[in-house]
Amino acid sequence: MVMGSIKTGTDVVVIGAGPGGYVAAQRAAQLGLDVTLIESEELGGTCLNHGCIPSKALISVGDLLHKVNNGAERGIVVKGAVEVDFAKTQEWKQTKVIKRLTTGVASLMKAAQVEVVKGKARFTDPHSLEVELNDGGTAAYSFKYAIIATGSRAVNPPFFPIDGQNVVDAQGALAFTEVPARFLVVGGGYIGVELGIAYAKLGSQVTIVEATGQLLPGTDPDLINVLMRRLRRLGINVLLNAKASGGLQNGKVRVEDAEGKVQEIEADKVLVSVGRRPFHEGLHLDKAGVRVDEKGFIPVDEQMRTNVSHIYAIGDVCSPVMLAHKASAQGRVAAEAIAGLPSAADWQTVPAVIFTDPEIAYVGLTEAQAREQGYDPVVARYNFAAVGRALTMGESDGFVKLVGDRKSGLLLGAQMIGPEVSELIGEVTLALEMGAQMEDVALTPHYHPTLSEGILEAALSWVHDIEKAGRK
């Protein structure tokens, strides 16, 4: 392509190659459309390069180290200190995990015959855009349809500005060259808690400062109670109803509690994780006529269409529920809608997973939400302490909680905390999508011994309670 030329005949331009964008590009190409994917950084977006994947890599290393150092009860005796070569850890994460996956995405795009353009895009009118190419110069594109998949960026709060050196966002915390001796986390959301636990297991003295009265705000308090017990055993200091401000000064951070009492916490590195915002700066949405709401999100309909009928938006840029798997699902919907298929974002619910220790997963309605929606909820809970597989793993903390409707018997939701619940939540999600009753789950044989028996036993308990109530 000649720089500055107009590429005619392009059906779909996808802006952003994260888990939403590259999936949308692949699906549109599979449906016979000519697709151009524009990305200024590495394929895979924040999730693959600076978020979901690298964080899970460090979490897995921390888990392994923790298991080795705490295996005496199961006969694993370590003589001398087990050391972490963190430079080697980072090299493994970058070359054996991230690089392999980004190469895989590139291969997928090549196989689908998607043209990948490296550069920053900006609309020039509703059917055209200009790309500032990474290797110099610009290129102009016309298109029939566009999918905006530019994702989100970490909030840089004025009360605790990120400097990229000692005060970092999640991307910076994942790129440390050594494990910090003292690590302070500002913000007790899922990113902060996940990385706080990972670095505690790797050897950091960790403090988490959360402005509200609970870690992971909005999460079922029953789950948080189990999590807090584990954090105490890991030696993590949690300060609730507290605010950090002023940055890192002389190796200390100023923290004020709800009563105005101030203390100084020593820290070598600080992670500021107080939320993310939709990212579309420099895209010139106004020239395309695309509206944004008061919070910066791009409103879309059930087919991911913006107010401009041929321009779509997916992922973090259009939704405060910022989940990679949701972006991917939305990407498929947008591509199929453009191709004329009767596709829409009509799923019943989207699961959420938090890779803490123990892991947390939930989907559908909680008991309170079910009651608010007019159901008569009945809750069944089964502890992992009674699940054989959990005991063999030495991971008996936590439980499965299922919520069902007393009258109809419908399964309404689930909340879990325990070993590998990230792998269990898919079963409940599928059941919810299929409109399953609690009895359907209870009548489904589950392999023994597996962690999934926790779901089975909770469902059996629910059915038994309903039967018992009916006999009275």
Given the residues 284, 310, 446, 448, select the one marked as catalytic.
448
Burial of 247 (0-12, 13-18, 19+ CB in 10 A): middle
Please choose, from the candidates 315, 76, 270, the residue with its C-alpha nearest in 3D space to the C-alpha of residue 165: 270
Q: The tokens of 323 are what?
A: 């989940």
448 counts as catalytic: yes
The answer to whether residues 337 and 312 touch, using CB atoms and an 8 Å cutoff, is yes
Which secondary structure element, helix H or strand E, spans residue 255, and what is its range? strand 252-257
Query: β-pairing, 115-125 with 35-39?
Result: parallel
Q: The tokens of 199 are what?
A: 């670095």
Return the exposure string of 66-105: e unless at least 16 CB atoms fall within 10 Å of the residue's CB, then b: beeeeeeeeeeeeeeeeebebeebbeebeeebbeebbeeb
CB neighbours of 324 closer than 8 A, spacing ≥ 6? Answer: 18, 19, 20, 47, 51, 52
CB neighbours of 134 closer than 8 A, spacing ≥ 6? Answer: 40, 118, 119
Please choose, from the candidates 199, 196, 169, 183, the residue with its C-alpha nearest in 3D space to the C-alpha of residue 50: 169
Whole-angstrom Cα distance, residue 472 to residue 469? 5
Whole-angstrom Cα distance, residue 195 to residue 153? 17
- Bridge partner list, 147: 14, 312
Q: Return phi, psi of residue 360, to 5°.
A: -120, 140
The answer to whether residues 153 and 272 touch, using CB atoms and an 8 Å cutoff, is no
Whole-angstrom Cα distance, residue 224 to residue 234? 15
List Cα–Cα distances, 106 to 52, 117, 134, 146, in angstroms: 18, 12, 17, 20
List Cα–Cα distances, 55 to 154, 191, 216, in angstroms: 15, 9, 17
The identity of residue 191, as a single letter, is: I
In the three-class reduction of DSSP (H, G, I as helix; E, B as strand; rest coil), residue 157 is classed as: coil
- Bridge partner list, 362: 352, 415
- Beta-sheet strand order (sheet of 352-354): 352-354, 359-364, 411-418, 399-405, 377-383
Q: What residues are annotated to the active site? A: 448
